[in-house]
Structure 1
Amino acid sequence: MDSLRPPDQFKDYVLLEQKAVGLQLYAMHAIQGFFQTEEHARALIGGGYPPLPVEELYVPPSRRISSSG
């Protein structure tokens, strides 16, 4: 297989990506709360787009939820 050419099953995706103005991916990489560290939770919360300001990462979830509605 030529390393510069994608496998045949991806040829349609390559054409779509060439025409795309944006690309979004979805993948579950979350660890359930019981096993999740504070650092991991902050990385998940702050990893969106647009990114949250650093000070927002330290707002308790209860305050974040009550101020969003």
Structure 2
Amino acid sequence: MQVSVDQEACVSSGQCALTADDVFDQRDSDGVVELLDADPPQGRWRDVRDAAAHCPAMAITVRE
């Protein structure tokens, strides 16, 4: 799995960081998504998929 984020599209909702906090974080200054792990371990794939599915800005892309 490869994960990427579009920081320009991000609306800082924080759902990704709540769902997979070892893969996503938010910048302190404005809450925009930061990608911590572009190649997460298989055990985290379900949470990463959920984070992408629930992103209101569709700013997360998952390639499998």
Is the pair's TM-score, using the shorter chain for normalization, greater than 0.5? Answer: no
- Give TM-score, length-normalised by structure 1: 0.23
Higher Cα Rg: structure 1 or 2? 1
User: Going by fraction, where is strand more abundant, 1 or 2?
Assistant: 2
Higher-RCO chain (CA-CA 8 Å, sequence separation at least 6) = 2
User: Going by fraction, where is helix more abundant, 1 or 2?
Assistant: 1
